[in-house]
Amino acid sequence: MSIEKWSETIWVVSLTDEPALSEDLLTAQEAALQTQPTPDVVVDLSAVTHVNSSNLSQLLRLRKIMIDNDRRLKLAGMPDSVWAVFLTTGLDKVFDFADDLTTALTGLQIGD
């Protein structure tokens, strides 16, 4: 994983499949909690082919950190296999999504 400080107020978290996925999500949560002011975060899921319930729980925790700090979280570049899990669990109604990283960053910049 990499956490790229795309700007002073926006980070991009690029994720890959397990076994790194769980650890990387935990690192992203900890980094967001330790940084003041908390940045907006884009999670790039384009390299992830599978998520499990633990990963979903970690994404929900990251979302809560963002909400508690009045910041935004966008999930970007989600493959169909991962999107199916979000649809099945109803999390497609909970998170904010973008088709790709560029769209997510643009959305954060213009405040959509």
Segment 6-34, tens digit of pLDDT: 998 999 999 999 989 999 999 999 999 99
Rounded Cα–Cα distance for residues 80 and 60 (Å): 20
**Res. 111: pLDDT tops 80:** no
pLDDT digit string (tens) for 60-107?
999 999 999 999 999 999 999 999 999 999 999 999 999 999 999 999
Three-state secondary structure call for residue 87: helix
Largest CA distance in the chain: 35
pTM for this predicted structure: 0.93
Torsion of CA 69, 72, 76, 81, to 10 degrees: 60
Mean pLDDT within 51-60: 96
- Sheet of 73-76: strand order equals 2-5, 10-16, 40-47, 73-76, 96-98
Write down the architecture of domain 2-99 according to CATH.
2-Layer Sandwich (3.30)
